[in-house]
Amino acid sequence: MRFSRRSLLLPVLLAGTAVPLAALPASAADGGRQTPPSLSLGAGPSDRQSVTVVRPSADGRTEQVPVTGAELTQYDASGGHAVLSSGGGGLKGGTSGQLRAGDVIAGPATSVTPRGALLKVKAVHPRPGGPVSVDTEPATLADALGDGKADVRVPLTAADLKVKPGGDGGKVTEGRGGGQGVRFDVDVPMPSGVKPTPGHSSALRGHLALEPEMLFSYERAHWYSVQPSRATIGMAADYDYGFAAHAEGTASYDTGRRPLHIPAAEVDVDKTVWLGPVPVVLNLKVTYFYDVSADGRITLDAEQDTKGHLEVGATYDAGRGWSALSGPEPTTTATPARVEGSATAKGGVGTHAELGLYGSAGVAADVMPYLKATVHGTAGTGDTKADRALYGGGELTGSFFAELGVFGMKVLDKTWEFPKVSYEHKLAGSGS
């Protein structure tokens, strides 16, 4: 398995951009066949709790099994036991007679299966006039979707984001415009010996606003391979983040070597979309943290704002293996800065994000955007020869987990680390 070394510029983790899936080339091996059929987003059933059952065939197609009104009313993930029933207890359309081993049950996110369900039937145990019990094992998207290709971008609204407030000083609100997105504001708690400069109530304050969309791509043609040839899972978002640093410190502190990651809030997403009749459940979990350090005495008054488009996630190509998604560099502006002292200070608010399908976490990343100030002079003297500078930067680390085998490719039982990415731009200071 290989990873392409691409620039992964993001100031907050959330996830990736879907690349357009090209048509598979015709060859002697495929008998001159055309590309697999397109799988388009559908509205889904009127009953948003109901499951879809499909039957894979050797020719790469899937056939929908009529189980009108069936819902997963019980599910034991550890044992694979599930119960299908309708609101009235029994099932319509002869469900017990229709179901058989090898069928695939795809369920949306519900109270019984909050991360959705993708199951292959091993055995059916009907009850006359009542619910149907089934023994199951995990299925893959290749089982459920068969031959096909899809490139899906799903905007997330405030209604899709389940917010869990965390530590002191953090606040999460709806994003701007039409209820799309989320905004996170935090007053960063500072170590002892650090206080706000005169006229300011907070030593370090950060904000992050983003309008995210989930990304999903899939392509398989059985005459080319029984495994998908291309796939993507990720998130993209337009974002705006910034820091206001008005701090003076009289002592050294260092959390850089052993970062102090204190969750300030948590955002969960379990978004169900329908590709044709099949519900696909996209999962996203984001937690926020902050990190500060200084190696001496420093006084700083500066503000920074950064706007851009982030992309986080992983994409697969049969010829190249898995690789990380990439995004463009952001645009950063800063206010005139006052930096005095003799130290390097750094602080910022970052995110940890996990992306997956049907509850299987597949991609994780930590993104730490920061504001850094350096000054080499005599603290408090106003030395005109002092070397002062203000920087805006970011650090990104990420990994891919084997659990993304839910796509249907063979994946080694291992965690693969994406190349570490960092960037830093000088915003103000001597020589700027």
- For 286-332, write each residue's pLDDT tens digit: 887 888 888 888 888 988 888 888 888 888 888 888 788 877 777 78
User: What number of CA atoms fall less than 13 Å from residue 152's CA on the CB side?
Assistant: 27
Least confident segment among 23-37, 115-129, 404-418: 23-37
CA distance 235 to 212: 7
Dump the DSSP string for 220-271.
Answer: E-TTT-SS-SEEEEEEEEEEEEEEEEEEEESS-EE-SSS------EEEEEEE
Q: Give the pair of three-digit tokens for residue 91.
A: 């099932």
And the tokens for 314? Answer: 């992983």
279-291: average pLDDT = 87
CATH of domain 39-145: 2.40.10
Q: Is pLDDT of 144 > 50?
A: yes
Average pLDDT value over all residues in the chain:
78
Domain range summary for the chain, segments of one domain joined by +: 39-145, 152-429
- Residue 169 has what pLDDT? 59
Question: DSSP assignment, residue 129?
Answer: T
Q: Which DSSP string corresponds to 130-185? A: S-EEEEEEE--HHHHH-SEEEEEEEE-BGGG-EEEE-STTEEEEE-SSTTBSEEEE
Report the alpha-carbon distance of residue 81 to residue 108 in Å, rounded.
17
Q: Residues 403-423: what's their mean pLDDT?
A: 73
So what's the pLDDT on residue 15? 28
pLDDT in tens, 167-224: 555 666 666 555 567 787 888 878 888 899 999 988 988 888 888 889 999 999 888 8
Structure tokens at 175: 């994003």
Specify which of 43-47, 69-73, 251-255, 358-362 reaches the highest per-range mean pLDDT. 69-73
Q: Write the DSSP symbol of residue 92.
A: S
Cβ-defined contacts of 122-126 (< 8 Å, 24+): 122/80, 124/96, 124/99, 124/100, 126/96, 126/97
Determine the average pLDDT of the residues in 369-392: 73
pLDDT of 52: 93
Going by pLDDT thresholds of 50, 70 and 90, the confidence category of residue 379 is: very low
